[in-house]
Structure 1
Amino acid sequence: MLRLTQAPNIAIATLWADILCEAGMTASVQRQYLGAAAGHLPPDQCLPEIWLEYDEHAARARTLLNDLQNLPQRRWACRCGEMVEGGFEQCWHCGALMPLD
């Protein structure tokens, strides 16, 4: 087994592990409840960790997590007049899709 990375919280750790599993890499979350020991242990040792079952998946897993953490950010004006910012491709107000340039 290989420790891939630490996550900032249990929700993100679970999301990352699920995405890795969906991509065909066996991943698990470890230290998910160690946050309760914060104050007794150094904070950086209490974060949840993502572990891979097979070391050979490491490069692909790191690439996938990097892509997930660096989604393209956009700013576009919807035809309804709403300004949409961030990684969204659909207007939250009217549901229209981002126009293709």
Structure 2
Amino acid sequence: MLKLTQAPNIAIATLWADWLTSVGIEACVQRMYASGIAGEIPPDQSLPEVWITDEHRLHDARRMLHELQHPLERRWVCQACKELIEGPFEQCWNCGANMPGP
């Protein structure tokens, strides 16, 4: 196993590990409960960590994690209801119409 990254909390670490596993990179969370001893060890050593099992997929895992942490920003107008949509969304929040194709 190989350490991929530290996460700010258990929820984020679990989200990242589950997402990586769902795209074919087996991942798990280590140090899930180390925050309970944060006063006895340095704070940076008590953060949860995401580990992957296949060291050959490290580059892919880092790239995919970066894409998850930095979603593509979009700005488009829904053709159905004329609502302005901003952010990484591909569907109109107002009417549910899909973003127009390229």
Show CA shifts across 1:17-74 (max 9, x none): 1122223222110011122233443322221101112221211111111122222101
**Separation of aligned partners in 2, 1:38 and 1:74:** 39
TM-score, with structure 2 as normaliser = 0.84
- Alpha carbons of structure 1 residues 90 and 40: separation in structure 2 relative to 1, 3 Å: same
1:96 paired residue number: 97
* Runs of 5+ consecutive residues of structure 1 not aligned to the other structure: none
* Runs of 5+ consecutive residues of structure 2 not aligned to the other structure: none
RMSD of the TM alignment (CA)? 1.7
1:78 paired residue number: 78
Name the stretch that deviates more: 30-39 or 2-11: 30-39
**Separation of aligned partners in 2, 1:85 and 1:39:** 42
Structure 1 segments of 4 or more deviating over 6 A? none
Q: How does 1:1-101 map to 2 (within 5 A)?
A: 1-79=1-79, 80-101=81-102
**Separation of aligned partners in 1, 2:61 and 2:32:** 20
The share of aligned pairs that are identical, in percent, is 56
